Amino acid sequence: MNPIFDTLNDRQCEAVKHTEGPLLITAGAGSGKTKVLTCRIAHLLELGVAPYRILAITFTNKAAKEMKERVTNLVGAQADSIWLSTFHSFCAKLLRFEVDGFHGYTRNFTIYDSSDQLVLVKDCLKKLNLDDKQFTPRSVLGTISSAKNVLMDAKAFAAKASDFYEQKVAD
């Protein structure tokens, strides 16, 4: 018997043995999702799948770290070549890898979290000499986010600005 399967129930074994195409595992907290994923990775490696062809994505840094530790305990150094990260980390790596195809962009971009964005908007309001009571940073961020959601860049937003508020947000 393969030691990878020793501690798994029937449904978990079924998920680990699934080797054709992607697999989505949804289950409640503490049900063994991480155990199944790490065992599946070990099983795929046993079957000869190259580590760099395996992608495992989690939502949190804590979960990614825990999964990486478990995979390392199961497979050793091969774990270093597996794409195992959070959604955000994976997307940032992918963007950096592919950025050369986008005119005007380089690998040296920075991704701002919500507090970074707030600081930047406050700084812009100050430089534009705008009252942050009339132009609250959160509402400015909301307006910018709405424009981004419809794929509108700054130039297009400025062209469609219909009132003083939108003109200043465009600035």
CATH 3.40.50.300 corresponds to the domain 3-100 = yes
CA atoms in the 13 A half-sphere facing the CB of 5: 13
What's residue 166's pLDDT?
94
Residues 74 and 49: their CA atoms lie apart, in Å, by 15
Q: pLDDT of 7-57, one tens digit each?
A: 899 999 999 999 888 878 888 888 888 899 899 999 999 999 999 999 999
CATH dotted code for 114-170: 1.10.10.160
What's residue 1's pLDDT?
62
Reduced to 3 states, what is the DSSP secondary structure of residue 58? strand
Reduced to 3 states, what is the DSSP secondary structure of residue 10? helix
Buried b (16+ CB within 10 A) or exposed e, 139-165: ebbebbeebeeeeeeeeebeeeeeeee
Domain boundaries, the chain: 3-100, 114-170
Mean pLDDT of 53-64: 90
- Using the predicted structure, report yes or no on whether residue 101 has a pLDDT greater than 80: no
Residues 105 and 148: their CA atoms lie apart, in Å, by 17
Q: pLDDT of 102-132, one tens digit each?
A: 777 888 888 888 899 999 999 999 999 999 8
Contact between residue 57 and residue 86 where contact means Cβ atoms under 8 Å apart: yes
pTM of this prediction? 0.65
Which of 22, 20, 16 has its CA nearest to residue 37? 16
Reduced to 3 states, what is the DSSP secondary structure of residue 144? helix
Contact between residue 137 and residue 121 where contact means Cβ atoms under 8 Å apart: yes
- Using the predicted structure, report yes or no on whether residue 144 has a pLDDT greater than 70: yes
